[in-house]
Structure 1
Amino acid sequence: MEPAICSSIVRAESLPAKPTNETEALAIRTAKVDDAASMWQLVDGLGVLDLNSRYCYLLLCREFSDTCLVATLGKRVVGFVTAFRSPQRPHTLFVWQIGVDAALRGQGVAGQLLDSLTSLALGEPIRFLEATVTPSNTASRRLFQSFAGRHGVPCRIEAGFTSEMLGGQHEAEQLFRIGPFPETMHRG
């Protein structure tokens, strides 16, 4: 079966962080071990993302801190993205999870996290970004398609993990493969 191609739009610059009120502006930075509990609580409170163990968030923040980011308002974590470089394909960044506080959904926070993630990734240039998304998760599907469009690169949707592979109690996950990105996009 041929992979689907995400629609693309003309490339635009990364969105600036938008203030949500007159005193606080959204800040995006690399995750620290101290952020793991807030990330876990955010996912637990949302109720729509797969809740990983607290230990998993601790490991991601410690071992993959250069590819895990948090969005904050003041000292409060209001969003995050966890990702890692594929050991088999070091030019590919795999997005494990992205979550945004329900009060800030639709304000571009997830897109800003992805843009920051690819521009700040250290080491070898990132040529591809991958993520798995369920067919029913329209918000994430739109997020990754919009990201590809902003950067003027293709987005292919392929078979990922079947429901059976995921124990039969979880919807299948499709693989979104975005790129290749131009090498000039990277500072790392």
Structure 2
Amino acid sequence: MKGVVTINNQTATLNPTEALTLEKPSAKDGSAMWELVNKSSLDQNSAYKYIMMCEYFAETCVVAKEDDQVVGFVTAFIPPERQDVVFVWQIGVDSSQRGKGLASKILNELIERDACRDVRYLEATVTPSNEASQALFKKFAREHDTTCEVSECFPEELFPSDEHEAELSFLIGPFDK
């Protein structure tokens, strides 16, 4: 049996032992997303945040599943006052999937969604020490032949705990659609 990736109802062959899909999440996927985050170094939000994002923002969230198990996701939304931007709140990939380009595939699925047809920019915040996410977003900009502007967004002193770094804004775009 050949592995298949399904993206926007199109299929592509992968490693023969894998069956990977990228799809809109449902509320029942929220707890699996939360568990994936808890096994990683990502900021831990409440389980409710993931369930809520799946329920109310499914059009701008993506889950990657292998054999019906969540192995990656992105939570994102379009800010009401900036309809040409999709803001990526969090992207996570299970350690079993790292190095396979899954995060890039998830981001591409996101910006190709009907809900993002008017989106010309992708924005995310990243801590200075998160080199993997910084590399992901810069690579994403290169792959889309556009710019990635990095600026200060939320300084460290805004956070109530001494344990949270500043957040840098990564603004990628404009995208040609």
TM-score, scaled relative to structure 1: 0.84
AA at the equivalent of 1:176: F
More strand as a share of residues: 2
Select 1:170's aligned residue among 153, 164, 173: 164
Q: Which residue of 2 aligns with 1:26?
A: 20
In structure 2, relative to structure 1, the CA distance for the partners of 1:54 and 1:158 (3 Å cut) is same
Q: Is it true that 1:137 corresponds to 2:130 in the alignment?
A: yes
Mapped to 1, the partners of 2:169 and 2:114 lie a distance apart of 21
Mapped to 2, the partners of 1:103 and 1:85 lie a distance apart of 30
Equivalent position SS for 1:169 = coil
Alpha-carbon contact 2:110-2:116 (below 8 Å) kept: no
Equivalent position SS for 1:164 = helix
Mapped to 2, the partners of 1:142 and 1:123 lie a distance apart of 23
Q: Report the CA distance between 1:39 and its aligned residue.
A: 0.2
Q: Cα deviations across residues 8-32 of structure 1 (Å, max 9, x unaligned)?
A: xxxxxxxx86634x24222100111
Consecutive unaligned residues of structure 2, counting only runs of 5 or more, are 1-10
Equivalent position SS for 1:83 = strand
Report the number of matched residues: 166
The root-mean-square deviation of aligned C-alpha atoms, in Å, is 1.4
Equivalent position SS for 1:122 = helix
Select 1:85's aligned residue among 69, 78, 82: 78
Mapped to 2, the partners of 1:17 and 1:45 lie a distance apart of 29
Q: Which residue of 2 aligns with 1:8?
A: none
Select 1:68's aligned residue among 49, 53, 61: 61
AA at the equivalent of 2:38: D
AA at the equivalent of 2:126: V
Mapped to 1, the partners of 2:169 and 2:12 lie a distance apart of 28
Q: Which residue of 2 aligns with 1:103?
A: 96
Alpha-carbon contact 2:86-2:116 (below 8 Å) kept: no
Select 1:52's aligned residue among 42, 45, 54: 45
The higher relative CO (CA closer than 8 Å, separation ≥ 6) is in 1
AA at the equivalent of 2:110: L
What is the percentage of aligned positions where both structures have the same residue? 45
Q: Report the CA distance between 1:148 and its aligned residue.
A: 0.5
Q: Which residue of 2 aligns with 1:10?
A: none
Consecutive unaligned residues of structure 1, counting only runs of 5 or more, are 1-15
In structure 2, relative to structure 1, the CA distance for the partners of 1:146 and 1:123 (3 Å cut) is closer
Mapped to 2, the partners of 1:103 and 1:35 lie a distance apart of 18
Q: Report the CA distance between 1:125 and its aligned residue.
A: 1.1
Q: Which residue of 2 aligns with 1:41?
A: 35
Q: Which residue of 2 aligns with 1:114?
A: 107
Mapped to 1, the partners of 2:87 and 2:77 lie a distance apart of 5
Q: Which residue of 1 aligns with 2:5?
A: none
